[in-house]
Amino acid sequence: MRRTLLAAAMAMTAMAATLLATPGAAQAASAPYTMHTNDTDPGGRVRFWPNGDVVEVCDIEADGWAVQIDIWNYTEGNTKVYSYQIGGNGNCQTLRASLGGKYDLEENDTFKFKICLDNAAHDPSYCDYNYWTNDNGLG
């Protein structure tokens, strides 16, 4: 009995070590580009994966404010591509090229991503922005 328990414990330890050494979903899912709203305790987050033009926007705080992103194609004269807003703590939306149309971002172009908090009583506030290139991870 003791030998069986020891063997089982060793097998579980080996399995755990293998799982820890193998890149998991969390590592594979880490975005090359991430930005938060510019408040002291950020209420919003945007992440961008160039491969697949995946944009994830999340409301990450129960503060009564929604999160808004605006995206412009800087390479093409700073033309607005799209805006998206989501509210409610813990709510996220993933937008991707496979949805077609405006979500299919031009390859190798540079985009201005702007993230803000917004509510009915205020104009968008606590904004931050950055320029990210849609190079599909090849550039």
**Which stretch of DSSP H or E encloses residue 70?**
strand 66-73
Given this model, what pLDDT does residue 85 score?
A: 97
Class of the domain covering 32-133: mainly beta
DSSP string, 61-96: S-SS-EEEEEEEETTTTSEEEEEEEE-STT-EEEE-
For residue range 44-61, list pLDDT tens digits in order: 999 999 999 999 999 999
Is 29 in a helix, a strand, or coil?
Answer: helix
- Sites in the chain below the pLDDT cut of 70: 1-29, 137-139
Domain boundaries defined on the chain: 32-133
Given this model, what pLDDT does residue 130 score?
A: 98
Is 53 in contact with 33 (CB distance < 8 Å)?
A: no
Q: What are phi and psi of 123, to 5 degrees?
A: -70, 165
